[in-house]
Structures are given as C-alpha cells and as structure tokens.
A and B are shown apart, each in its own frame.
Chain A
Amino acid sequence: MTEKPYEYLLLRHRQIPELDNLEIYRQNGGFEAFEKAVKTMQPAQVTEFVKASGLRGRGGAGFPTGLKWAFIDNNNWPHYVTANADESEPGTFKDREIMERNPYQFLEGVALCAYAIQAHHAYIYLRGEFWQIAARLDQHIAALHAAGLLGEKLFGSDYSLQIHTHLGAGAYICGEETAMLESMEGKLGQPRLRPPFPPSFGLYGKPTVVNNVETLTNVPLIIAHGPEWYRTIGTEKSPGPKIFCLSGRVVRPGNYELPLGTTFRELIYEHGGGILEGRPIKAIMAAGASSSLIIANDQALDTPMDYENVPSVGGSLGSASVIVLDDTVSIPWLINKTIHFFKHESCGKCTPCREGTYWMQHLTERVAYGHASQQDVALLYDVASQMRGKCLCALGEFSIEAVISGIDRFRPDFDQTVQAPPVT
C-alpha cells in the first residue's frame, strides 16, 4: 500500500464534504470542463478525447464510450442522451452512491456527452425505487439552471441544453438499453430487435447515446485532465478508475474505487477485510447475479479485475459487482435464488427466456429444497444449455450463467442435495 492516501476521482465526496452542493463542487473545479468544452472545443473534439482515453462503458458490456458517441448518425436530428440509472443488477449499488453524494460530476458528464453529440435534451432514466434520488437530482438541475450552467445559449454560445429525470417503476429489464428507450416512450419495457442500435435509432427513433451513470461520471475527468493522464490509471486495455461493489460474505461490504486491474484478492482481503468469521472463500460472482461462478482458488484471487483478464478464469467483469461466497453457501440454493430473480424479471417477449426461466425455476426449487433426482439436475442443465444463443436480449443469457457454471464447477454440491435433500 502506498503512503499517500488514494485520491478519489469518482467517489470524491469521500474526501470533499458537501460535494452535493453546487458551490462546493465548483470550488473544486466543477463545471470547468463543461465550460472549457463549450467555449473552446468542437463537439467532435470532445468525442476524440473520450475515444483517446480508452474509457469503456461501466454498465456491463465494456463497450468503448468514444466509439459509441462517434457512431451517432449526423444525418438524422435531433439527438438525445439517455443516462442509464436503472441500476438493478443484484449486487450493484455504485450509481446510487454517485448520484446521492457526487451528483454534479455525473450531471457534468451528461452535459459533456450532450455537447459532444449536440443533443439539446438529455434524460436520466432512474429505477422507480430511486424516487428520492430523482427528486434531489431535479433540485440539482434547477440549481444548474439558476447558475447559468444549463439552459439557453450557454456561456454565450449557441448551445442550449436541458436535462430531465424520468422514473421507472420496478423492472430490471428496463436497464437493457432498448427496453429503457421503449419504457421512456411510454410503452412496455421490452427490448427491441437490434440492429438498428440506439446511435442510429434510439429514443423516439432518433440517434441516441445510452451510457451508464458511472461511465458519464468519468467524462469530466477526461476533459479536464486529458486522455494521456486518464490512461495512466488502470490497464492498457481497461484504463481508468472503477467502482467495485463488494457484497456477500465479506467483513466490509461496500463500494471501493480502485484502478481497473486490481486483483480480486486485494479487493476482498485488503479492502473488504476478508471473509466473515475467517471462513474459507468458495466462489466469486464478478458481475452480480448475471455471473458465472468463478472457483475462488489462488489463480482466480490473483487475477486482475479488468475486461481482458476476468474471462481467463471463466467469468466476466460486467459492472464489477463482486458477490463473495464462502463455504457456508450451497450452490443449489444460490442458483435457485438467481433463477427466481430472472424468472421474475423476464419480460416475456421471447419464448426461450420466458419458458426457460419458468422451467428452470421449477427445477431449481426441487434441487435446492429437496426431492430432486440426478435426472432433475440433468434436465436443468439441459434446459439452460438449450437457451444459449436463442434469446432476444442478454437477460436470457445471463440467467443461465450461474446454473451452467454451478453444475459444471460445483458438482459435489448437487450430488449432496440429490442424495440427502435438506429438510424444509
């Protein structure tokens, strides 16, 4: 560990009290990046900066952010920005801390993205449970208007921008970007067939950038300090800081802002204080409930958490929602939990996911709580395998990750419940 305390870049409120006050945010350099961009940079230059920084989307897919902005169709107007604040993946709670405690950096990121693609309206789609956060954001947006940082003809230029909040109402699928757009249009939150992708056909059929809250919160840093500086943090293929959401059987669960490429071991044992009661670690889910189960051996623990390395131990980084499982956790119980989630959240639009999650739930109930046979486990594996590659959106694919990897990698847990079902 270094002597110097870590200087927060995203969770800056942990070092600067009352950063959710616009005055304090401005005293600490807030909105200088936006002013600089509007006054001195061409929109395409802002996109170039973000491209050069190597920033990748923090919402799960890790897609290069600058590239996404560059895909915006300039022959079709108007353009929109929609910030994805749906944050509903089990194990994910980082966007909430940003919006509650460092909201202006996020809003400045929204404004920079809007300027880069010349959008005059940006929407923030928040999960309905973030009702209080939306109300606070509305106040912050009003404060920005009062300070002349949002509204008409900003900084004496011709550029105008409004930001609006839009509350969802409880549906995980609305985090999927096209379902989110449908929901914002006042329709059922069900994914669209793609292509076309949002940069050509997004909100109201217009070119739209959808980015995660944390992704956008990185942007003011890049514009203020430059892409070279940004690339000094993290790894070559995964530059920048990342908020890791640590949950499950650890001593100190919470959000940890660390450079991409930090190892699981450092996160879990150094920052998270290790496993509860000093027990042995069993498995790691690196991307929330949508994860495969990584066997937590030394090789896995020493793996850097970035987009390129986590696949080498049979997982993916996703939104970096690290759920830690110790030896008290039964894998059949766990997959029953995750399947209940996906069954509940399946939007029902396509048959493989709707039917698949339904049947898997029947089987995981049996497997977790008794009376299952080896055939039931085999059937469960079969149903899950048949869903692969056949679902309209990634939710269906997510649902089978823990099931397949659980049965493949933790077979003894299943043999045990089949032979000696727990009493319920």
Chain B
Amino acid sequence: MLAEKYAQEIQTILAKYPTDQRRSAVMALIYLAQRDKMFVDRKDMAEIGEILGISATEVASIVGFYSLYYDQPGGRYRLQVCTDLPCALRGAEQFLQELCHRLNIQPGGTTSDGLITVEPVMCLAACDKAPMFQVQSGAGLEYFENQTVESALSLVNQLRADAARRRGRNDND
C-alpha cells in the first residue's frame, strides 16, 4: 500500500498544494507508485484515487495522457534516445539503429533479459549534445549526452551488473 509505504513522502507532496486542491498531487503520486516496478497497475490507481478523492478512472486517464507513465510492464530501465529534428541532424537516428542492432532488438523492443527497453523519444532539451538519451527507471531519470554506441553499450553493461548484484542481494534475503 502506497499510503503506508510512502506516508512521509505523501505528506510532503500534499503540503505543496492548498488543502482543498489535493488533486494537484496526482502526478507526483503516480511517480511514487511507479517507483518499484516501473509501471502503475489498477490497484495503484484506485489507491491514488482514494488518497486524493478522485476516481480510479480519472487517475487512469492521467496515466494514459503522459508519456513518462506506464500502465504495462516494460524493461526495468527505459533507455530513451532522442531522435527529434535537431538530434537527427547530428546522427541520432543512425545511433539508435546501431545501438539496437548491437543489443539485438528493434527500436521499442526490450532486451532478452527483460531489463532494458530502447526507444526513440521526442526532444529532451539537449539538442546541442547529440547523440543523447535519458535512462528512466523507477528511481528517476538521468541524462547521458554526447554519446557513442560504445559508451551506451558500456552503460548497458553497467546497468546489467547492477541488476545482477541487486538480484544476488535479494536472493540472500
């Protein structure tokens, strides 16, 4: 349950808004719900609705409207390459193709270990530093700029090693 798990954080979020405007917290609460598994399920939506006094359907429509929310499981990490116009003028499309080729997936696909989804996205406000991508995980978002396919692949290896270490830790629990 979100309300117990993140009680403190939820209070901090709600405190930003007037007491009669709790609904403003919906975006932040969806991020919270997404933190562990990188998507939000119906149960989360219902609970968010309950906390804020809106319906689960309204929460679902907000999840559907914004591109950084997911209602389906995907890779634990989403490696999102900007291929919008300014980046495309500096080789971003070839970069995406080559990266996907080296990872044995199609753009939009997820690596066979289920860990990393690679997908093209629109401008990320880093147009002077192409090729670039962001990595979104439940914990947040990080930018990687002026990349090469090699530097991206070594990041992928690092993410895999991190995930393996975490799995090892969980197995020992």
Q: A interface vs B, CB < 8 Å?
A: 87-93, 95-96, 123, 127-132, 135, 164, 166-172, 183-189, 204, 245-249, 253-255, 289, 323, 325, 329, 334, 337-338, 341, 344-345
B25 and A90 within 8 A (CB): no
CA distance A129 to B86 in the complex (A): 18
User: A132-B141, A204-B21, A248-B89 are contacts. A90–B84 as well, Cβ < 8 Å?
Assistant: yes
CB contacts (< 8 Å) of A170 on chain B: these are 66-69
User: A89-B123, A93-B128, A169-B31 are contacts. A185–B89 as well, Cβ < 8 Å?
Assistant: no
CA distance A123 to B136 in the complex (A): 24
A129 and B124 within 8 A (CB): yes
User: A89-B123, A132-B142, A169-B67 are contacts. A186–B16 as well, Cβ < 8 Å?
Assistant: no
Look across to chain B and name the residue whose beta carbon is closest to the beta carbon of A87. B125
User: A128-B141, A132-B140, A204-B18 are contacts. A169–B27 as well, Cβ < 8 Å?
Assistant: yes
CB proximity of B87 to chain A, nearest CB, Å: 8
User: A87-B125, A345-B122 are contacts. A185–B21 as well, Cβ < 8 Å?
Assistant: yes
Interface centre among B28, B65, B66, B89 (most CB of A within 10 A): B89
B85 and A189 within 8 A (CB): no
CB contacts (< 8 Å) of B16 on chain A: these are 123, 164, 166
User: A166-B16, A167-B31, A171-B67 are contacts. A247–B89 as well, Cβ < 8 Å?
Assistant: yes
Q: B interface vs A, CB < 8 Å?
A: 16-18, 21, 23-28, 30-31, 52, 54, 61-62, 65-69, 84-86, 88-90, 122-128, 134, 140-143
Interface centre among B23, B26, B27, B30 (most CB of A within 10 A): B27
A90 and B68 within 8 A (CB): no
A90 and B142 within 8 A (CB): no
CB proximity of B18 to chain A, nearest CB, Å: 7
Look across to chain B and name the residue whose beta carbon is closest to the beta carbon of A90. B123
> What are some 22 contacts across the A-B interface (CB < 8 A)?
A88-B123, A88-B125, A90-B85, A90-B123, A90-B127, A91-B123, A129-B134, A166-B24, A167-B31, A170-B66, A172-B122, A183-B27, A186-B23, A186-B25, A186-B27, A186-B52, A245-B127, A248-B90, A253-B127, A323-B86, A338-B85, A341-B84
CA distance A169 to B61 in the complex (A): 13
CA distance A88 to B124 in the complex (A): 7
CB proximity of A212 to chain B, nearest CB, Å: 13
A91 and B134 within 8 A (CB): no
CB contacts (< 8 Å) of A254 on chain B: these are 128
CB proximity of A180 to chain B, nearest CB, Å: 12
CB contacts (< 8 Å) of A246 on chain B: these are 128
CB proximity of B129 to chain A, nearest CB, Å: 8
CB contacts (< 8 Å) of A87 on chain B: these are 125
CA distance A411 to B25 in the complex (A): 50
CA distance A204 to B19 in the complex (A): 12
CB proximity of A34 to chain B, nearest CB, Å: 21
CB contacts (< 8 Å) of B31 on chain A: these are 167, 169
CA distance A247 to B88 in the complex (A): 11
CA distance A88 to B23 in the complex (A): 24
Look across to chain A and name the residue whose beta carbon is closest to the beta carbon of B63. A169
CB contacts (< 8 Å) of A338 on chain B: these are 85
A247 and B141 within 8 A (CB): no
B141 and A323 within 8 A (CB): no
CB contacts (< 8 Å) of A337 on chain B: these are 84-85, 88
A128 and B68 within 8 A (CB): yes
Look across to chain B and name the residue whose beta carbon is closest to the beta carbon of A172. B122
A247 and B66 within 8 A (CB): no
Look across to chain A and name the residue whose beta carbon is closest to the beta carbon of B141. A131
Given contacts A90-B123, A254-B128, list 7 more A-B pairs with CB under 8 A.
Answer: A168-B27, A187-B23, A189-B66, A246-B128, A329-B89, A337-B88, A345-B122
CB proximity of A411 to chain B, nearest CB, Å: 21
B89 and A323 within 8 A (CB): yes
> Which of B61, B66, B84, B127 contacts A128 (CB under 8 A)?
B66
A93 and B27 within 8 A (CB): no
CB contacts (< 8 Å) of B24 on chain A: these are 166, 184-186
CB proximity of B21 to chain A, nearest CB, Å: 6
Look across to chain A and name the residue whose beta carbon is closest to the beta carbon of B26. A186
CA distance A338 to B90 in the complex (A): 16
CA distance A390 to B125 in the complex (A): 29
A129 and B85 within 8 A (CB): no
CB contacts (< 8 Å) of A248 on chain B: these are 85-86, 89-90
A93 and B127 within 8 A (CB): yes
CB contacts (< 8 Å) of A89 on chain B: these are 123
CB proximity of A291 to chain B, nearest CB, Å: 10
CA distance A7 to B28 in the complex (A): 39
